[in-house]
Amino acid sequence: MASLIHCPHCGIRPRQEFSIRGDASVTRPAPEASDEAWHDYVHLRSNPRGRHQEHWHHVAGCRRWLVVERDTFTHDVFSVTDGAAVAREGGR
Partner 1 sequence: MIRTYISHHPLEGRIPLEPGIRAVDHLEVPRRQAIVTVMAADGEETAVAAALSTMSEASLRFVGPGEWLVVSQSETPDGLVRSLSLVLADTAYVLDQSDGRIVLRLSGPNARRILAKGVAIDLHPSAFAIGAASNLLCGHISVNLARTGENEFELIVARSLAESLFDDLRLMGREFDLSIDFSG
Q: How far is the CB of 54 from partner 1 (least distance, A)?
A: 20
Q: If 0-12 CB within 10 Å is exposed, 13-18 middle and 19+ buried, where does residue 69 land? A: middle
Residue 11, interface with partner 1 (CB under 8 A)?
Answer: yes
Q: Taking the alpha carbons of 62, 63, 69, 74 in that order, is the dihedral positive or negative?
A: positive
Q: How far is the CB of 53 from partner 1 (least distance, A)?
A: 21
In the region spanning residues 15 to 34, those forming contacts with partner 1, defined by CB under 8 A, are: 16-17
Beta carbons of 54 and 65 less than 8 angstroms apart: no
Residue 73 φ then ψ, to 5°: -100, -50
Q: How far is the CB of 12 from partner 1 (least distance, A)?
A: 8
In the region spanning residues 53 to 82, those forming contacts with partner 1, defined by CB under 8 A, are: 59-64, 82
Residue 14, interface with partner 1 (CB under 8 A)?
Answer: yes
